[in-house]
Chains A and B, each alone.
Chain A
Amino acid sequence: MVSGVRQPVLDSLAAVVLAAGLALVLVVAAGRVESARVGAAESEARMAAALWELVGGGADAVAGLLGERATITGADAGGAGSGPGAYGYEAGALEPAVWIAVAPPPAGGPRGALPVTAIAIALAGLTVVTGWVLARRRGPTRIRYPAGIALLSGGCIGLTAVAGGRWAGDELGSLSAATVAQGARAVELALATGADPAGAARFAQLPWAQDLSLDSLTEQWTMPAAVAAAIADSPARDVEGSPLTVEADGATWHVAGAADVHIAFLGYERTSSPTLALAAAAGLAGLLVALVLHLGQLASRPRALGRTLAAWGLLAPAAAFILAFTLGPLLFSLWISLHEWRLIDPAPLFLGFDNYAALLRDREWWSAIGNTALFTLHVPAAMAVALALALLTRGSRRTLRWARLALFLPGITSVAAIAVVWKWLLSDQYGLLNRGLERAGVGSVPWLTSPDTALASLMIIGIWMVVGYQMVVFQAGLAAIPRDWYDAARVDGAGPWQRFRHITLPGLRHTLFFVLVTSIIGSFQVFGLVYVMTEGGPLGATDVAVYHIYREAWEFLQFGNAAAMSWLLFAVVFAATWLHFRFLDARRAHG
């Protein structure tokens, strides 16, 4: 089947894929604008429903707000209830009396109804690529063909995405201004029915503040304090009817005034920003074009092309899984690390590398990294103990088998269960360990309640947890060392220490390296023990990197910071691993 695919077909396919990719980019940009238009209609429908419900403004008030864009159906409107429809909203307390259906605001911001520039760029690029493809079918082209197509396609996709993004931004901005103006209109209509300003402000269904409370920030507002403060400082705040925008919390807020009420709206250009989606669409389109070009290279070798297609087909499920659950989140976390984001914010705020710069000055973070590095020191100690145990428990006697099992058990036991048991064992007041020490006349030790001992206590538990696993790995390594070497060494008069020094250790070199690297990576990721036993205390003595990241994200909702910390931790672990490899290479090079 595949062997029948010919070069011209794949060449043409490249142009088709490019067209599809460009369409995808345009659809993403237009889709964001359309979804914002729907959002604007829903917002207006909520305003209309609030007018209907709260002051009984009725159809006149709704018509005053929305004109012919609203269709009212239902018992009170003299018609049959139509039930939920697009962009509609039920009004009339909980038993809907009417259904207000709102048509989206008309399209047509400053740049017109269509992303003209983006479409022009897309068509121009597509024309050139298609022309080139057709020219090649008539004979060889002068410039190197696949590279030229790839470069041209990539440029075309990128420029289309940029132009589409700019168009979407303008459209979203004009929608935001229209939405906040409608909010002000809803307030005015409510005031006309006799509602007081504070009550009327709620009809906008948007964050609001009364003029009097802008400075004092009393509780008569739902507007974020930073926005209220920015409005209070704005010289244009008292200019009747003038559209006002203020910068607060790193974003542009559209503001409108009605009587002594100000309402604000966090622009769609931020909450529906198409940047990330456009980047993803453009990246996907570029990847597909590159894939088709790659397949085109194989067109002259049908068997190789068939195998490649089959291989990609079989790899696709796993590749999709990795893309969705590993690579995707990884890239997303990188993107988040460049933003301020609290998970429930309407939209992340772009900060560039501010999160990383702030981390460099964050003493608590570096203290956590220091604690993590200190904790990692338990790895060599654990390895020494594990190696000793591996040597001591070699053999097939029943007691040795039981000993190995007992030593291995902590490695397969839940960390949370281990942590809870150890927490009681190490308790100052009731701990078995302290009772034993007291009986022995040593006196009790504040295992987990002193900054001097808490991390060391966790390290001891860490050793106890990993030593069984490491012992098993070492025993596998020991089994691979030829017995003859030991026999020969004995014949040559080597003692136990010399045999260990000159046969066992060199023979275990690769095993030792493997255990060292994996254990260090594991120790940098320590979390469960700290989470259950010490919560990073006392006074931050056991605040390790992953626990610090967890708190930053889930306790303080600073996901941008937490993502930046994760990437820095990745860099540290990567550097440590790389250094180990370099060290090993150097040892190899010097014999």
Chain B
Amino acid sequence: MRSPWQDFVPAALVLAAAACAPGESGSTLRVALWAGGHELEIEREVADQYEALHPGVRVVLESAPNGYEERLLTSIAAGRPPDVYLLDSPDIPTFVERGLALDLAPYREALRFRPDSVFGQVADAFRRGESMFALPKDFTPMVLYANRGVLAAAGVEGLLPVAPAPGTAPPAASSQAAPRLTAAPADAPAGWTWTDFRRAAEAVVADTDGDGRTDVFGFDFPRNLYQWIPFVWSAGGDILAPVGNGASGYLDGPGALEAYRFLTALAEDGLTPGAQFVQQGDPAREARFASGGQAFLLSGHWTLPVFGDLVEAGALDLAIVPIPHHPSRTAATSVLYASGWAVPPNAPNLRRAIDLAGFLASPEAQRIRARSGLAIPSRMDVAAEIAAADAAGIEDAFIALVEGARMTWGARVRDFSRIEALAVEIMDRRLVRGESLASSAADVARRVDAEFGW
């Protein structure tokens, strides 16, 4: 009879052999990032360039377009961090305060990195005093995309702070017109106010097929904090105290309340489709905008490539304009989101990791990456090169919006996601339950203060 040991011992040997299999070699550098699709192909191209410059070094891109933060945190907690990782602006305080990002300032010379070569707000986001905890990759301000065809059909294209286009036609007839991608000129005069925006949004609302339902909207409701905070700033308000240690008096302050009222009124008056109470927002917004069902779309630079093909095909007449400002003020303040290359202090190949981070943030890498069109290069010289090659002036328009824009609060306040999660309640409670904005804002501000011990 066959003994049980005769089965057990070989199996145990196989398992032991598997456990002793060789690991990765020391010349492999792991980079954590969230790129996907074409963007990942471009990052691979950048990595290939680095490999060509450093024979024997292999760069592995560990990309997680979804669940990036979970994956990164888990790898760090498990003691196996990547050599280089992409640090998103809202994660900066968490990573810096816990010592998870190496101070790269001592290596500036060696990496030929000059902070003054980078847009000021972007560099500041990753700095604490003289220390620099990531090398800026790229960034974007939030802007308004305007469907000029829709606005022209309603006769309100003139309200836009861009030059009127000859031969403007609604989307249905736009195939005969030259495809256009226009933007507010960098030196556009101030005066694009909430009043203008609302007038334009109101004018386009229409039931085109006569079925009693609105088919063309002015805007879609900006439910999330990252979308509506420019409106608060543009009304002279803010959501936190200047040093980021208090919400009461700010999140429920007069400027913030004006912004909430303005935005909720857009929804209540039927200028937007019904609000979607989810973080990802209305999944149909971009399709609706591109197909002529919506006049304005609030987004960042990353949306530009989405519309590129439509503009090329003459199906979309697109303008990029600043976020409107409160009538009592002269200009809007947009919000910036940036990312940078960071190195964990316990990176397995620290020197090579620092070198790779430097390369990933270098002008060469940024030039390659700029082809994706997803964001503005963090280096001013590369951004200027890209803008110079853009006859439509789109890049110039984006760059012009950087001046006066502010980095997200998340780049300074730890656990900001908690504030974002609570803050969405303010306007939700108004739209869902009809509560007063002042009382819901005061309640949320109190809860933020209590939760953060402010």
Nearest B residue to A94, CB-CB? B110
- A sample of 19 inter-chain contacts (CB < 8 A) reads A53-B106, A54-B106, A94-B107, A216-B243, A219-B127, A222-B131, A310-B4, A316-B8, A317-B11, A343-B73, A343-B77, A344-B100, A346-B98, A449-B275, A535-B277, A535-B279, A539-B425, A556-B418, A557-B415
Task: Count A-B pairs with CB separation below 8 Å.
Answer: 120
Residues B274 and A93 in contact, CB atoms below 8 Å apart: no
Partner of A430 from the list B69, B76, B284 (CB cut-off 8 Å) is: B284
Residues A557 and B73 in contact, CB atoms below 8 Å apart: yes
**Cα distance, A427 to B213, chains bound together (Å):** 14
Q: Is A188 an interface residue (CB 8 A)?
A: no
Nearest A residue to B11, CB-CB? A317
Residues A198 and B276 in contact, CB atoms below 8 Å apart: no
- Identify which of B97, B100, B433 gathers the most chain A CB atoms within 10 Å of its CB: B97
Q: Is A296 an interface residue (CB 8 A)?
A: no
Given contacts A343-B73, A429-B274, contact A221 B128 (CB under 8 A): yes
Q: Is A179 an interface residue (CB 8 A)?
A: no
Q: In the A-B complex, list the 9 residue pairs whose CB atoms are closest, starting with the nearest.
A: A93-B110, A538-B277, A537-B277, A94-B110, A428-B274, A535-B278, A220-B129, A310-B4, A343-B77
Q: Is A345 an interface residue (CB 8 A)?
A: yes
Q: Is A217 an interface residue (CB 8 A)?
A: yes
Nearest A residue to B358, CB-CB? A94
Known: A94-B358, A556-B421. 12 other contacts (CB 8 A): A93-B106, A202-B106, A207-B97, A317-B15, A344-B73, A344-B77, A449-B274, A449-B277, A450-B432, A451-B433, A555-B417, A557-B94
Residues A94 and B354 in contact, CB atoms below 8 Å apart: yes
**Cα distance, A121 to B109, chains bound together (Å):** 57
**Which residues in B have their C-beta under 8 angstroms from that of A207?**
97, 99
Residues A344 and B76 in contact, CB atoms below 8 Å apart: yes
Q: Is B405 an interface residue (CB 8 A)?
A: no
Main secondary structure of the interface of B (DSSP, over half): helix
**Which residues in A have their C-beta under 8 angstroms from that of B128?**
219-222
Q: Is B70 an interface residue (CB 8 A)?
A: yes
**Cα distance, A93 to B277, chains bound together (Å):** 50
Give the shortest distance, in Å, between B46 (CB) and chain A (any CB).
19
**Cα distance, A429 to B215, chains bound together (Å):** 9
Give the shortest distance, in Å, between A162 (CB) and chain B (any CB).
27
Residues A313 and B8 in contact, CB atoms below 8 Å apart: yes
- Identify which of A93, A217, A423 gathers the most chain B CB atoms within 10 Å of its CB: A93
Partner of A344 from the list B15, B98, B275 (CB cut-off 8 Å) is: B98
**Which residues in B have their C-beta under 8 angstroms from that of A449?**
274-277, 432
**Which residues in A have their C-beta under 8 angstroms from that of B425?**
539
Residues B428 and A539 in contact, CB atoms below 8 Å apart: yes
Q: Is B429 an interface residue (CB 8 A)?
A: yes
Given contacts A222-B128, A449-B276, contact A344 B8 (CB under 8 A): no
Would you give the 0/1 interface string for B266-290, flagging 1 where the beta carbon is closer than 8 Å to chain A?
A: 0000000111111110011000000
**Cα distance, A429 to B277, chains bound together (Å):** 14
**Which residues in A have their C-beta under 8 angstroms from that of B330?**
none
Q: Is B162 an interface residue (CB 8 A)?
A: no
Residues B278 and A534 in contact, CB atoms below 8 Å apart: yes
Size range of the chain B interface in the assembly: 35 or more
Residues A93 and B103 in contact, CB atoms below 8 Å apart: no
Q: Is A199 an interface residue (CB 8 A)?
A: yes
Contact residues of A with B, CB < 8 Å? 50, 53-54, 90, 93-96, 198-199, 202, 207, 216-217, 219-222, 224, 310, 313-314, 316-317, 342-346, 423, 427-430, 438, 446, 449-451, 534-535, 537-539, 551, 554-557
Nearest B residue to A223, CB-CB? B97
**Which residues in B have their C-beta under 8 angstroms from that of A222?**
96-97, 128-129, 131
Q: Is B351 an interface residue (CB 8 A)?
A: yes
Nearest A residue to B8, CB-CB? A313
Q: Is B105 an interface residue (CB 8 A)?
A: yes
**Cα distance, A50 to B106, chains bound together (Å):** 8
Give the shortest distance, in Å, between A556 (CB) and chain B (any CB).
6
Query: In chain B, residues 404-450, which have Cβ atoms closer than 8 Å to a Cβ of chain A?
Result: 415, 417-418, 421, 425, 428-429, 432-433
Residues A94 and B111 in contact, CB atoms below 8 Å apart: yes
- Identify which of B69, B425, B432 gathers the most chain A CB atoms within 10 Å of its CB: B432
**Which residues in B have their C-beta under 8 angstroms from that of A539?**
277, 425, 428-429, 432-433
Give the shortest distance, in Å, between B240 (CB) and chain A (any CB).
14
Q: Is B355 an interface residue (CB 8 A)?
A: yes
**Which residues in A have their C-beta under 8 angstroms from that of B358?**
94
Nearest B residue to A209, CB-CB? B129
Residues B129 and A313 in contact, CB atoms below 8 Å apart: no
Partner of B428 from the list A53, A537, A557 (CB cut-off 8 Å) is: A537
**Cα distance, A58 to B286, chains bound together (Å):** 59
Residues A90 and B415 in contact, CB atoms below 8 Å apart: no
Residues B4 and A314 in contact, CB atoms below 8 Å apart: yes
**Which residues in B have their C-beta under 8 angstroms from that of A345?**
98
**Cα distance, A295 to B20, chains bound together (Å):** 31
Residues B284 and A314 in contact, CB atoms below 8 Å apart: no
**Which residues in A have their C-beta under 8 angstroms from that of B428?**
537-539
Would you give the 0/1 interface string for B55-85, flagging 1 where the beta carbon is closer than 8 Å to chain A?
A: 0000000000000011001101100000000
Give the shortest distance, in Å, between B433 (CB) and chain A (any CB).
7
**Cα distance, A537 to B223, chains bound together (Å):** 12
Nearest A residue to B96, CB-CB? A222
Give the shortest distance, in Å, between A121 (CB) and chain B (any CB).
32
**Which residues in B have their C-beta under 8 angstroms from that of A202?**
103, 105-106, 129-131
Residues B107 and A93 in contact, CB atoms below 8 Å apart: yes
Give the shortest distance, in Å, between B199 (CB) and chain A (any CB).
24
Partner of A94 from the list B98, B130, B355, B421 (CB cut-off 8 Å) is: B355
**Cα distance, A346 to B346, chains bound together (Å):** 13
Query: In chain B, residues 103-157, which have Cβ atoms closer than 8 Å to a Cβ of chain A?
Result: 103, 105-107, 109-111, 127-131
**Which residues in A have their C-beta under 8 angstroms from that of B3?**
310
Residues B70 and A554 in contact, CB atoms below 8 Å apart: yes
Nearest A residue to B72, CB-CB? A344
Nearest A residue to B105, CB-CB? A202
**Cα distance, A343 to B3, chains bound together (Å):** 46
Partner of B432 from the list A198, A451, A534 (CB cut-off 8 Å) is: A451
Give the shortest distance, in Å, between A564 (CB) and chain B (any CB).
17
Given contacts A50-B106, A538-B277, contact A217 B243 (CB under 8 A): yes
Partner of A429 from the list B77, B96, B284, B433 (CB cut-off 8 Å) is: B284
**Which residues in B have their C-beta under 8 angstroms from that of A429?**
273-274, 284
**Cα distance, A317 to B7, chains bound together (Å):** 12
Give the shortest distance, in Å, between B410 (CB) and chain A (any CB).
13
**Which residues in B have their C-beta under 8 angstroms from that of A538?**
277, 428, 432
**Which residues in B have their C-beta under 8 angstroms from that of A451?**
432-433
Residues A96 and B351 in contact, CB atoms below 8 Å apart: yes
**Which residues in B have their C-beta under 8 angstroms from that of A199?**
130
**Which residues in A have their C-beta under 8 angstroms from that of B110?**
93-95
**Cα distance, A557 to B70, chains bound together (Å):** 10
**Which residues in B have their C-beta under 8 angstroms from that of A427?**
284
Residues A534 and B277 in contact, CB atoms below 8 Å apart: yes
